[in-house]
Amino acid sequence: QVQLVQSGAEVKKPGASVKVSCKASGYTFTSYGISWVRQAPGQGLEWMGWISAYNGNTNYAQKLQGRVTMTTDTSTSTAYMELRSLRSDDTAVYYCARGGVVGLGWFDPWGQGTLVTVSS
Amino acid sequence: EIVMTQSPATLSVSPGERATLSCRASQSVSSNLAWYQQKPGQAPRLLIYGASTRATGIPARFSGSGSGTEFTLTISSLQSEDFAVYYCQQYNNWQTFGQGTKVEIK
């Protein structure tokens, strides 16, 4: 079955970086894109950006420009999201989700989520 | 950025009753709208895409309608497993989510 499995929870200090992985299985990785979505405690869903697994094209949410980088490794069908200069308000559950190869489209399925806690 | 506004924020419904959730876009998104269900501690699950197409395995009691700027998710007869938070998402111009509607037991 189509599945996205994410890396485990992280605790980081303010100013540090975090890199979350998302391993895909059950489908042709390069035929889709991967979006990243985060959810702060008790809050709604915030789209962070998208990467095409076909050609590596990216589009990032404006508020995260300059702090986020999304990459893929097609040899292992894994997507990565790196967030730098972490602040306390980056504390959230981070999800990867399969989406369209050109960036538009619905998300299905989603990874199980990775809790990133930013605390001194 | 397209802003998605969901109403109401909380909907109290008795099991077996009908629930109607609304989602409004700040500009037209055509039919490029999806609905998700999220239960506590779980990732969101796709229910509806293309405004009205049920995703694989989604029960027929879930239905979506609308186009342009006004959309509705209807749950015809609420089951116990349907009490959750529901989000709409537009994907006409990149992606934005509504703030969610919590469906709780009355």
Q: What is the pLDDT of residues B26-43, one digit of tens each?
A: 999 999 999 999 999 999
Q: What is the pLDDT of residues A35-77, one digit of tens each?
A: 999 999 999 999 999 999 999 999 999 999 999 999 999 999 9
CA angle A82, B3, A65 (to 5 degrees): 25
Residue A86, pLDDT > 80, answer yes
Residue B54's pLDDT band (boundaries 50, 70, 90)? very high
Q: How far apart are CA A62 and CA A68, in angstroms?
A: 10
Other CB atoms within 10 A of residue A19 CB: 13
Q: Tell me the residues of A at the B interface, defined by beta carbons under 8 Å apart.
A: 35, 37, 44-47, 50, 59, 62, 95, 99-100, 103-113
pLDDT value of residue B41: 95
For range A11-31, the mean pLDDT: 97
CA distance A93 to chain B (A): 9
Which residues on B lie below 8 Å from A107 (Cβ)? Answer: 34, 36, 44, 46, 89
Task: Return phi, psi of residue A20, to 5°.
Answer: -110, 135
Half-sphere exposure of B16 (CA within 13 A, CB side): 0
Other CB atoms within 10 A of residue B35 CB: 29
- Nearest Cα residue in chain A from B102: A44
Which residues on B lie below 8 Å from A37 (Cβ)? Answer: 97
Strand partners, B85: B38, B102
Residue A103's pLDDT band (boundaries 50, 70, 90)? confident
Cβ pair A108:B55 closer than 8 A: yes
Q: What is the pLDDT of residues B81-92, one digit of tens each?
A: 999 999 999 999
Pick the residue of A57, A63, A95, A108 with the most B CBs within 10 A to test the interface with B by mutation. Answer: A108
For range A90-108, the mean pLDDT: 92
- Nearest Cα residue in chain A from B6: A44
Closest by Cα among A39, A100, A19 to B85: A39
Residue B7's pLDDT band (boundaries 50, 70, 90)? very high
Give me the percent of chain A exceeding a pLDDT of 70: 100
Strand partners, B66: B71
Reduce the DSSP state of residue A64 to 3 states and report it.
helix
CA distance A92 to chain B (A): 12
Which residues on B lie below 8 Å from A50 (Cβ)? Answer: 94-95
Residue A9's pLDDT band (boundaries 50, 70, 90)? very high
Rounded to a whole number of angstroms, the distance between the first and last alpha carbons of chain B is 35
Which residues on A lie below 8 Å from B100 (Cβ)? Answer: 44-45
Q: Say if CB A106 and CB B91 are below 8 A apart.
A: yes
Residue A22's pLDDT band (boundaries 50, 70, 90)? very high
